[in-house]
Amino acid sequence: MGSVSGGRLAAAVSDAGGLGLIGGGYGDVQWMDAEVAVLKSITSRPWGIGLITWSINAAIVEAALRHRPHALMLSFGDPRPYAQAIRRSGCKLICQVQGLPQARLALEAGADLLVAQGTEAGGHGGQRATLPLVPAIVDMAGGVPVIAAGGIADGRGLAAALMLGAQGALIGTRFYASAESLGRESAKERIVAASGEETARTRVFDVVRRYPWPCLYTGRALVNQFMDRWEGLEGALATLPEPRRAAYAAAVRDGDAHTAMVWAGEAVDLIRTVESAGALVAQIGSEAEALLNRVSGYVR
Ligand SMILES: Cc1cc2nc3c(=O)[nH]c(=O)nc-3n(C[C@H](O)[C@H](O)[C@H](O)COP(=O)(O)O)c2cc1C
């Protein structure tokens, strides 16, 4: 989760037995360096960095690899130009994919792990739903392990993902509303109060920030006043005069959730408290285990 998952959150997840990822997002190397230092001051467990593929270059990948992460996750774009450098450094390559064409590219790149991301996910993603996408990618991946993402926020979702053939889950929104995330308190409060109907996929926040996202991808956010005002008017938003664009940037800085985006997935219904990330990892794991033990009794 770009700029939301910093060193504290990633370390807490890794310390609890997960694989914490620092959200390197668009590739701000200074930010990444600072957050890796935080992580390394807390944990010596395996960890990783996530990057948005269309936004990066070889120098950014090199900067990430200098920190010796155990895994680098590339999402949204062709991973092949970076695959060799990543794997040669001894780092595992994780590719987050939104459909079969992206999965094919990831397999060609020699990915060590695929993340099949359904459209229920918070933040950027594609159109396919998690339930049919995950097994389709498992079938395609041969022996390459797949984990599921999008709409998973508790042990029920993890257990379901395992039944689809995934070997685990990548969870974002649930950890946004954790004590260690860098998210604003106002954003965490909105997530805790929201239902899935209040989320929608949009380009509005990319247009106002002038991020040239490929048209395949939109971002799922909590619907707010700014999104209501500009949805369908992206052409006009793209030519917004500078002072009004600056007003948007100020709202982001001030944590004004009526205007600033809060990326969040459909699973917000399942998030009613802000918890520590370590407790969440333990809780999700033990709930899934109990459910799987219980349902195995149904087939005797
Ligand atoms: C606040 C937020 C920021 C995100 N930023 C990124 C990002 O920078 N790069 C990326 O690959 N995915 C990003 N994602 C998507 C996650 O990688 C993941 O697919 C998603 O959170 C899983 O679905 P869930 O939110 O329902 O758990 C983001 C998600 C959220 C909620």
> What are the pLDDT digits (tens) for 143-197?
999 999 999 999 999 999 999 999 999 999 999 999 999 999 999 999 999 999 9
Give percent above pLDDT 90 in the chain.
95
Cβ proximity of 67 and 97 under 8 Å:
no
pLDDT at 296: 84
C-alpha–C-alpha distance, residues 209 and 3, integer Å: 15
pLDDT at 3: 86
Q: What is the DSSP letter of 233?
A: -
Q: Given pLDDT bands bounded at 50, 70 and 90, which one contains residue 299?
A: confident
Is the per-residue pLDDT at 244 higher than 90?
no
Full-model pTM: 0.97
User: Is 120 close to ligand 1, i.e. is its CB under 6 Å away?
Assistant: yes
Ligand 1 centroid to residue 124 C-alpha, Å: 7
Q: Given pLDDT bands bounded at 50, 70 and 90, which one contains residue 300?
A: confident
User: Is 95 close to ligand 1, i.e. is its CB under 6 Å away?
Assistant: no
| Residue minimizing CA distance to atom 4 of ligand 1 | 1
Most informative mutation of 52, 76, 199, 263 for ligand 1 (most atoms within 8 A of CB) = 263
Both tokens of 149, joined, read 């993402």
Cβ proximity of 110 and 72 under 8 Å:
no
Ligand 1 centroid to residue 297 C-alpha, Å: 35
| Residue minimizing CA distance to atom 21 of ligand 1 | 172
HEC sequence for 149-181: ECCCCCHHHHHHHHHCCCCCEECCHHHHCECCC
At 60-106, the pLDDT tens digits run 999 999 999 999 999 999 999 999 999 999 999 999 999 999 999 99
Ligand 1 centroid to residue 300 C-alpha, Å: 39
